[in-house]
A and B are shown apart, each in its own frame.
Chain A
Amino acid sequence: MKNLMYSSAAFVALSLSASVAMADCSPDFTGIEITATTQTGPYIASALQLAADGWTEKTCGTVKVVEFPWSELYPKIVTTLTSGDDAFDVIAFAPAWAPDFTPYLTEMPAKYQQGDDWMDIAPVYREALMIWNGKVLSQTMDGDVHTYTYRIDLFEDKAHQEAFKAKYGYDLAIPVSWDQYLDIAEYFQNDVEGVYGTAEAFRRGGQQFWFFFSHAAGYTNHPDNPGSMFFDPETMDAQINNPGWLRGLEEYIRASKLAPPAALNFSFGEVNAAFAGGQVAQSIGWGDTGVIAADPAQSKVNGNVGSAMLPSSNEIWNHVTGEWDTYDEVVKTPFMAFGGWQAAVPQSSGNQEAAWDFISFLSSPEVSGQAAVTGGTGVNPYRISHTTNMERWASIFSEREAAEYLGAQQASVTADNVALDMRLPGYFSYTEILEIELSKALAGDVTPQEALDTVAAGWDELTEEFGRESQLEAYRASMGLEAK
Chain B
Amino acid sequence: MTREDPVKHFFLWPAVLVVLAIAIFPLIFSLANSFMSLRLVPPRPSKFVGFENYIDLLGNERFWQVVKTTSLISFTSVAFQFVIGFAIALALVKKVRGADFFRVSFLLPMLVAPVAVALVAKQILNPSMGPLNQVTTFFGFPNLPFLTDSTWALGSLIAVEIWQWTPFVILLLLAGLQGLPDDVYEAAELENASPWRQFWGITFPMMLPISVAVIFIRIVESFKIIDTVFVMTGGGPGIATETLSLFAYQEGFKKFNLGYTSALSFLFLIVVLIISLVYLAILKPYLERYK
Decide: A443 and B238 in contact? CB cutoff 8 A.
yes
Decide: B127 and A262 in contact? CB cutoff 8 A.
yes
Report the number of A-B residue pairs with Cβ-Cβ less than 8 Å.
Answer: 79
Indicate whether A79 sits within 8 Å of B40 (C-beta atoms), given known contacts A262-B127, A432-B254: yes
Decide: B234 and A261 in contact? CB cutoff 8 A.
no
Task: Chain A residues near B126: list those with CB within 8 A.
Answer: 262, 265
List which B131-168 residues lie within 8 A (CB) of chain A: 143, 145, 147-150
Task: Chain A residues near B253: list those with CB within 8 A.
Answer: 75
User: In the bound complex, what is the Cα–Cα distance between A78 and B43 (angstroms)?
Assistant: 10
Decide: B149 and A443 in contact? CB cutoff 8 A.
yes
Q: Annotate A74-100 by CB proximity to B: 1 below 8 A, 0 otherwise.
A: 110011001000000000000000011
Question: How many chain B residues touch A (Cβ–Cβ < 8 Å)?
Answer: 28
Decide: B237 and A439 in contact? CB cutoff 8 A.
yes
Contact of A74 among B42, B147, B254 (CB under 8 A): B254
Stretch at the interface among A132-140, A224-232, A423-431: A423-431
- Chain B nearest CB: distance from A468 CB in Å? 13
Decide: A442 and B237 in contact? CB cutoff 8 A.
yes
Task: Chain A residues near B145: list those with CB within 8 A.
Answer: 264
Q: Annotate A255-275 by CB proximity to B: 1 below 8 A, 0 otherwise.
A: 000001110110000000000
User: In the bound complex, what is the Cα–Cα distance between A143 and B16 (angstroms)?
Assistant: 58
- Chain A nearest CB: distance from B160 CB in Å? 16
Contact of A204 among B42, B235, B256 (CB under 8 A): B235
Decide: B236 and A428 in contact? CB cutoff 8 A.
no
Decide: A100 and B41 in contact? CB cutoff 8 A.
yes
Decide: B255 and A426 in contact? CB cutoff 8 A.
yes
Decide: A428 and B147 in contact? CB cutoff 8 A.
no
List which B74-126 residues lie within 8 A (CB) of chain A: 126
Decide: B41 and A426 in contact? CB cutoff 8 A.
yes
Residue A64, interface by CB 8 Å: no
User: In the bound complex, what is the Cα–Cα distance between A71 and B231 (angstroms)?
Assistant: 12
Decide: B238 and A82 in contact? CB cutoff 8 A.
no
Residues of chain B touching chain A, judged by Cβ–Cβ distance below 8 Å, are 40-44, 126-129, 143, 145, 147-150, 234-240, 250, 253-257
Give 10 A-B pairs besides A75-B254, A262-B126, A426-B41 with Cβ atoms closer than 8 angstroms: A78-B40, A78-B41, A204-B235, A205-B235, A205-B236, A206-B234, A265-B127, A425-B42, A428-B254, A432-B254
Residues of chain A touching chain B, judged by Cβ–Cβ distance below 8 Å, are 71, 74-75, 78-79, 82, 99-100, 103, 203-206, 260-262, 264-265, 425-426, 428-429, 432, 436-437, 439-440, 442-443, 445, 466, 470
Enumerate the 9 nearest inter-chain pairs by beta-carbon distance, A residue then B residue, closest first: A425-B42, A204-B236, A440-B238, A262-B127, A264-B148, A443-B237, A205-B234, A262-B128, A439-B237
